[in-house]
Amino acid sequence: MEYEEYRRTLKELKLTIKEFSKLINTSYATVIKWSKDGRSVPSWVETWLKLYKDKQLLQKEIEKLKNNDCEEYKALAKALQDIINKEK
Protein backbone atom coordinates (compact mmCIF):
# COMPACT_ATOMS: atom_id res chain seq x y z
CA MET A 1 0.00 0.00 0.00
CA GLU A 2 1.43 3.33 -1.04
CA TYR A 3 1.40 6.19 1.45
CA GLU A 4 -1.17 8.24 -0.51
CA GLU A 5 -3.58 5.28 -0.63
CA TYR A 6 -3.05 4.74 3.09
CA ARG A 7 -3.90 8.40 3.84
CA ARG A 8 -6.91 8.28 1.50
CA THR A 9 -8.19 5.14 3.23
CA LEU A 10 -7.79 6.68 6.68
CA LYS A 11 -9.76 9.70 5.50
CA GLU A 12 -12.46 7.46 4.00
CA LEU A 13 -12.73 5.65 7.36
CA LYS A 14 -12.80 8.99 9.20
CA LEU A 15 -9.68 8.08 11.17
CA THR A 16 -6.86 10.44 12.03
CA ILE A 17 -3.31 9.14 12.22
CA LYS A 18 -3.45 9.65 15.99
CA GLU A 19 -6.67 7.59 16.29
CA PHE A 20 -5.24 4.90 14.03
CA SER A 21 -2.05 4.68 16.09
CA LYS A 22 -4.13 4.16 19.24
CA LEU A 23 -6.25 1.46 17.58
CA ILE A 24 -3.15 -0.47 16.52
CA ASN A 25 -1.39 0.16 19.82
CA THR A 26 1.60 1.78 18.14
CA SER A 27 3.17 5.10 19.01
CA TYR A 28 2.06 8.11 17.01
CA ALA A 29 5.74 8.87 16.30
CA THR A 30 6.19 5.48 14.63
CA VAL A 31 3.08 5.80 12.50
CA ILE A 32 3.87 9.36 11.41
CA LYS A 33 7.35 8.23 10.28
CA TRP A 34 5.76 6.11 7.56
CA SER A 35 5.46 9.27 5.50
CA LYS A 36 8.99 10.45 6.13
CA ASP A 37 12.45 9.29 5.17
CA GLY A 38 11.07 7.13 2.37
CA ARG A 39 9.72 4.55 4.82
CA SER A 40 6.92 2.50 3.39
CA VAL A 41 3.65 1.66 5.04
CA PRO A 42 3.96 -1.87 6.54
CA SER A 43 2.30 -4.56 4.45
CA TRP A 44 -0.13 -5.60 7.21
CA VAL A 45 -1.76 -2.13 7.32
CA GLU A 46 -3.76 -2.65 4.13
CA THR A 47 -5.35 -5.82 5.51
CA TRP A 48 -5.98 -4.21 8.90
CA LEU A 49 -7.75 -1.24 7.30
CA LYS A 50 -9.88 -3.53 5.12
CA LEU A 51 -10.95 -5.54 8.16
CA TYR A 52 -11.71 -2.32 10.06
CA LYS A 53 -13.88 -1.12 7.16
CA ASP A 54 -15.66 -4.49 6.98
CA LYS A 55 -16.37 -4.32 10.70
CA GLN A 56 -17.88 -0.84 10.31
CA LEU A 57 -20.13 -2.12 7.52
CA LEU A 58 -21.15 -5.08 9.64
CA GLN A 59 -22.02 -2.75 12.54
CA LYS A 60 -24.32 -0.77 10.24
CA GLU A 61 -26.08 -3.94 9.16
CA ILE A 62 -26.44 -5.07 12.77
CA GLU A 63 -28.10 -1.73 13.59
CA LYS A 64 -30.57 -2.28 10.76
CA LEU A 65 -31.38 -5.74 12.11
CA LYS A 66 -31.83 -4.38 15.65
CA ASN A 67 -34.35 -1.83 14.40
CA ASN A 68 -36.40 -4.41 12.52
CA ASP A 69 -39.76 -5.53 13.89
CA CYS A 70 -38.92 -9.19 13.32
CA GLU A 71 -37.78 -10.92 16.50
CA GLU A 72 -35.58 -13.34 14.54
CA TYR A 73 -33.68 -10.39 13.05
CA LYS A 74 -33.24 -8.87 16.49
CA ALA A 75 -31.92 -12.20 17.80
CA LEU A 76 -29.52 -12.41 14.86
CA ALA A 77 -28.34 -8.87 15.55
CA LYS A 78 -27.66 -9.77 19.18
CA ALA A 79 -25.75 -12.92 18.19
CA LEU A 80 -23.61 -11.01 15.71
CA GLN A 81 -22.91 -8.27 18.23
CA ASP A 82 -21.89 -10.88 20.79
CA ILE A 83 -19.42 -12.36 18.30
CA ILE A 84 -17.92 -8.95 17.60
CA ASN A 85 -17.65 -8.13 21.30
CA LYS A 86 -16.00 -11.48 22.00
CA GLU A 87 -13.25 -10.66 19.47
CA LYS A 88 -12.13 -7.55 21.38
What pLDDT is recorded for position 68?
83
Domain assignments of the chain as residue spans, ordered by start = 3-87
Share above pLDDT 90 across residues of the chain, in percent, rounded to a whole number:
43
Q: How far is CA 20 from CA 15, 25, 75, in A?
A: 6, 8, 32
- What are 9-25's pLDDT values in tens digits? 999 999 999 999 999 99
Nearest residue to 10 (alpha-carbon basis) of 57, 59, 45: 45
Q: Does this model's pTM top 0.85? A: no
